[in-house]
Amino acid sequence: MIEHTLGKTCVPNNPERIVTLNDIILGNVLTLGVKPIGSATYFRKNKFSPQVKRKVGDINLLGIIRQPNLEKMLLLKPDLIIGWRTTDQVNYSLLSKIAPTVLYDSQGLSWQEQFNFVANTLGKEATATVVLNNYKQRVQKLKQYLGSRYKQQKISLINFCCNGIISDVKNSFAGTILNDAGLQRPEAQDINQKYGIMEIPEEELWKADGDILFVSAYLDSDRSYLKKLEQKPLWKNIRAVQKNHVYFVDATAWRGNSLIDAEVVIDDLFKYLINP
């Protein structure tokens, strides 16, 4: 019996036909050594993130979050469905008629707590311990390679989304990984915020200032906005821009929330900070 946001659900031992309702849960299930039979995605182009796609191969795509294809899901005959309260509560009664359904509050849990919840749901606690220890070992190795070279430098994160600029602050997914690695953030970003994000108006672009700047964007329209911003003095005044220390990374990983995403972030930190 698994207790979750909407109550308690009797989950079968060793479920074999799992459906996940977004890429984050899919990534965590895959990391635990289990391959779901189908999943919804949160990407508008109706596809999985690159890092998940590499790991999962071919599985049934069940539409996008908030609008999963329930008819297709029913035909798959799952024995367990895992989703988020915020996106899937509206369909909970229908999902529960298809298979035992567990929904958790993603906004109230850290990414590691979310991973542990999924592991507990699947009865994979021992595997989760091993996987998290591997993450900690990689972070420790990164810290050893970094040494003291970035001790006085500030690492800034910005994402271009919805014709605006967002920074993932200290309690964000990527922010916690930087913190685990002992990397420092600019003062404006060294804060905890609701949902781990801070909006940066263009006139306050100084909040993006840092010695190293990691930049991501989801859509072509967001990248177009970035291109225009790159021509303005506000952008050119950023220290990382002046030092040519601006690195473009994959938003689906850096703004993800699973251990598969964390591996990509750590890979990028090795790539750009250890072997630039």
pLDDT of residue 78: 97
| 182 shares its domain with 95 | no
Mean pLDDT (whole number) for 107-122 = 92
pLDDT of residue 156: 98
| 154 shares its domain with 206 | yes
| Domain final residue pick, 126, 145, 173 | 126
For residue 185, give the CATH number of its domain.
3.40.50.1980
CA torsion sign for 257, 33, 21, 99 is negative
| 153 shares its domain with 122 | no
The token pair at 241 is 């821009």
| 88 shares its domain with 121 | yes
| 147 shares its domain with 242 | yes
Question: Is pLDDT above 70 for 46?
Answer: no
The token pair at 109 is 């849990």
| 163 shares its domain with 230 | yes
Q: Can you give the residue range of the structural domain that contains 47? A: 2-126
Question: Is pLDDT above 80 for 276?
Answer: no
| 151 shares its domain with 231 | yes
Question: Is pLDDT above 70 for 43?
Answer: no
| 139 shares its domain with 264 | yes
- The DSSP bridge pattern shows strands 101-104 and 80-84 to be parallel
| 146 shares its domain with 98 | no
| 70 shares its domain with 181 | no
275 compared with 186, residue with greater pLDDT: 186
pLDDT of residue 236: 95
Query: Domain count of the chain?
Result: 2
| Domain final residue pick, 105, 126, 147 | 126
| 235 shares its domain with 162 | yes
Task: Give pLDDT tens digits for 136-171.
Answer: 999 999 999 999 889 899 999 999 988 899 999 999
Spatial distance between the Cα atoms of 158 and 151, rounded to a whole number of angstroms: 21
Q: Report the b/e string of 188-197 with b at 16+ CB within 10 A.
A: bbeeebeebb
| 92 shares its domain with 139 | no
Q: For 7-16, 68-77, 155-164, 191-200, which range has the lowest pLDDT when averaged over its residues?
A: 7-16
| Domain final residue pick, 102, 126, 150 | 126
The model's pTM is 0.93
